Amino acid sequence: MAIFRCNKCGYLREVANEHIGKSAKCSQCQNVAGIHETTAFIEKIIEKYFTLQKELVNLREGTSSWDQLEIQVIDSPQSEPFSLKEIDPHNTKELTNNYQYLPIIEWFDKKNIKAKVNPRELDTTGFFDEIALALGNNYEKFKEISDKIKWMQKKGYTSTNFQLADKSQKEIQEFVKFCSDLYKYSFISKYFYQKQEKIIKITLQQSPQIVNFFNGIWLEWFAFMKIINFFKEENIKFSGARCLTIDFSNDDHFELDNFFLIQNKIPVCIECKSKEFRQELEKYAKIRKRIGLEKNNFLLCVADLSDDQAQGLTSMYEITFVNEKNLLQHVKELISS
């Protein structure tokens, strides 16, 4: 049997093993809490007990109290972070399960902030993640394509050409491959390469999802996938969410582009901008303070921002600026610090 324990009122009951990793409302106080595998739950309690017992032996008079001992022993374990060890990050629905992102909801709940996750934003069985990484990892090369598609969509045009005659053979191959992938995964509706003239002709895709993707959502996908691929490689446990909505007690409402809780102890918020960002700097600084994050843990990732600009803006404002190139390095430094 599994165990449900309410972190708020202490209500305890056994439930079926099939519910392990899920969350449920407490029948006594309606608080949402996690369901734990019995052995793991007991092991954590025993681990705490022996740690406290060892401390008790070494205590000197006046350094602790039995009330503190009791509180620590009965405190239930936090929901377990998620591992991608046996999962392909680019083709899975596992990230959409509530046991993956539950620690984030619990983290905000402790701050009296209600967090909501749309599981559909964590489904990687589509191709948004692959194209986002291809674009973000080669943004200097493909920025021309992305910007032109975005401009054409804004103006209401349906087709455009790319002249490749002034590019090297390698650059032409890369351009052709990227545009071919856009067509293969239906990010554009038509594609034709005139090899002799060195011209690529494309017809735009009109679906709202694709329009939004080129209008900036690609960078949110890029940041998310860049980070979780690193977690996969290093076998780092985490909880992650895209398009996380948060509601404060005064009914203020915000959406966070990416939020991670790494190893159940390191919170990281990543806001993403592929266009103008300056008018929103004060808003981001206020959100950071309200959710209680250190400056280093609240990142504004701006596409094509130079390293010098990122460093200078970080010095000026109460948030940390990164670009698509150094985003991952900053997260690595947060984990190692």
Q: In the chain, where are the structural domains located?
A: 1-77, 80-137+218-337, 138-209
Is the domain covering 138-209 a CATH 3.30.1370.30 domain? Answer: yes
Q: Would you state the pLDDT for residue 49?
A: 54
- Residues in the chain, how many? 337
Q: Would you state the pLDDT for residue 52?
A: 57
* CATH class belonging to 80-137+218-337: alpha beta
Query: How large is the average pLDDT for residues 272-285?
Result: 93
Separation between Cα atoms, residue 19 and residue 15, nearest integer Å: 7
Give the single-character DSSP code of 82.
Answer: B
What pTM did the predictor assign?
0.77
Separation between Cα atoms, residue 85 and residue 231, nearest integer Å: 9
More confident residue, 250 or 322: 322
Task: Give the pLDDT band (50/70/90) at residue 239.
Answer: very high
Q: Do domains 80-137+218-337 and 138-209 have the same CATH topology?
A: no
Separation between Cα atoms, residue 126 and residue 130, nearest integer Å: 8
State which amino acid sits at residue 134.
Answer: A
Query: How large is the average pLDDT for residues 162-185?
Result: 96
Query: 154-171 pLDDT, tens per residue?
Result: 999 999 999 999 999 999
Query: 216-228 pLDDT, tens per residue?
Result: 999 999 999 999 9
Indicate whether 63 pLDDT > 70.
no
Indicate whether 64 pLDDT > 50.
no
User: Is the four-CA dihedral 132, 135, 136, 137 of positive or negative sign?
Assistant: positive
Query: How large is the average pLDDT for residues 148-152?
Result: 95
Separation between Cα atoms, residue 32 and residue 54, nearest integer Å: 33
